[in-house]
């Protein structure tokens, strides 16, 4: 029971942080320099892990569907299923889980170290706002980076699927691409991108919140970092369910 209460307490605190962040985003001057630095650290530096994950996921999905559909003589639907599965679900979710683990751990460790060495107190004592200096640039950067990485994951994942349908199922390249594109609607892509916008904000908010409340020296930083990765993963999965329900209802 206490775990449930702690979860909702955390959710409340993160919501307050989200509100303060939103308020600070629109209060000039905007911290462009810090945001670009975070965009590079959180987004640009994550392209390789995103690319690898997406291409192998696309290939594995295509292989599994091809094997599963073969008894029904429906292997021609492999590309369609892979395409929809990736752009609606796996592209945004896998990208967010992987980048969230990598970047979220980094954010929490960095901010947590600042907290235990009184650097966050120092920011306030020197007349600045830690939310403005630390949280806003990270939230904005991740809200931009995750959708962009998701687009890349969608393209590369689908390419992986096409590769398998051509190499193993025996379709022509043109037919494979055509069936995949025919099956996908713009709304499918938008569906995935809307999710990724939320996931980007969640990654940054949860990791910053965990970092700022870190205490107990270096041991505390380690604890906060681990907790952050777990919390980010769980929150993304729960948010994915809720967003899927909402978006499906909207598009229906």
Partner 1 sequence: MSSGARTDLPRDAAGSFRDPGRVRPHERPGAEPIITFRGVHKAFGPLRIYEGLALDVYPGETLTIIGGSGVGKSVMLKLLIGLLPYDDGEIRVFGEEVSQMDGDALLRLRSRVAMLFQGAALFDSMTVAENIKYPLREHRWGTEAEMDRRVAEVLEMVDMPGIQEKKPAQLSGGMRKRVGLARAIAMKPEVILYDEPTTGLDPINVRRINGLILSLQQQLGVTSIVVTHDMDTVFTITDRLAMVHDRRIAFQGTPAEAKANAFTYLREFVQGGFGVLTEDL
Which residues would be at the binding site for partner 1 (CB under 8 A)?
113-114, 117-119, 121-122, 124-129
Q: Give the list of residues 6+ apart from residue 141 with CB closer than 8 angstroms, or none.
A: 35, 36, 38, 39, 41, 42, 43, 204
Return phi, psi of residue 216, to 5°: 90, 30
Least separation in angstroms between CB 242 and partner 1: 33
Both tokens of residue 19? 């509100």
Tokens of 93: 């979710």
CB atoms within 10 A of CB 137: 24
State the nearest-atom distance from the C-beta of 118 to partner 1, in Å: 4
Q: How many CB atoms lie within 10 A of CB 83?
A: 28
Nearer to partner 1, 68 or 217 (CB): 217
Whichever of 36 and 197 has its CB closer to partner 1, that residue is 36
Distance between CA atoms of residues 223 and 218, nearest Å: 9
- Rounded least distance, CB 119 to partner 1, Å: 5
Between 117 and 178, CB nearer to partner 1 = 117
Phi-psi region of 197 (alpha: psi -120 to 50; beta: other; left: phi over 0): alpha
Q: C-beta of 112: minimal distance to partner 1 in Å?
A: 13
CB of 3 to partner 1, least distance (A): 19
Which is closer to partner 1, CB of 125 or CB of 186?
Answer: 125
With CA atoms as reference, report the closest residue to 193 among 247, 124, 131, 120. Answer: 247
Q: How far is the CB of 214 from partner 1 (least distance, A)?
A: 15
Nearer to partner 1, 126 or 249 (CB): 126
113 or 201: whose CB is closer to partner 1?
113
Report residue 214 as tokens.
């870190």
């Amino acid at each position: 029971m206490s775990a449930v209460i702690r979860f909702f307490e955390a959710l409340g605190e993160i919501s307050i942080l989200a509100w303060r962040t939103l308020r600070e985003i629109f209060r000039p001057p905007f911290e462009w320099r810090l945001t670009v630095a975070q965009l590079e650290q959180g987004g640009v530096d994550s392209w390789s892990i995103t690319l690898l994950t997406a291409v192998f996921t696309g290939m594995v999905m295509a292989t599994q569907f091809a094997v599963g559909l073969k008894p029904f003589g429906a292997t021609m639907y492999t590309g369609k299923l892979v395409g929809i599965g990736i752009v609606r679900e796996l592209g945004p979710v896998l990208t967010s889980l992987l980048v969230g683990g990598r970047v979220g751990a980094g954010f929490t460790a960095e901010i947590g170290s600042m907290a235990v060495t009184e650097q966050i107190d120092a920011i306030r004592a020197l007349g600045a706002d830690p939310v403005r200096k630390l949280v806003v640039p990270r939230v904005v950067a991740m809200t931009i980076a995750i959708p962009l990485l998701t687009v890349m994951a969608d393209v590369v994942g689908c390419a992986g699927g096409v590769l398998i349908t051509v190499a193993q199922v025996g379709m022509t390249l043109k037919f494979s691409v055509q069936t995949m594109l025919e099956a996908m609607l713009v709304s499918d892509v938008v569906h995935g991108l809307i999710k990724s916008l939320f996931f980007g904000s969640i990654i940054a908010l949860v990791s910053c919140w965990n970092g700022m409340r870190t205490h107990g020296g270096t041991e505390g930083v380690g604890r906060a970092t681990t907790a952050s990765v777990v919390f980010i993963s769980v929150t993304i999965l729960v948010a994915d369910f809720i967003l899927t329900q909402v978006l499906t209802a909207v598009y229906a």
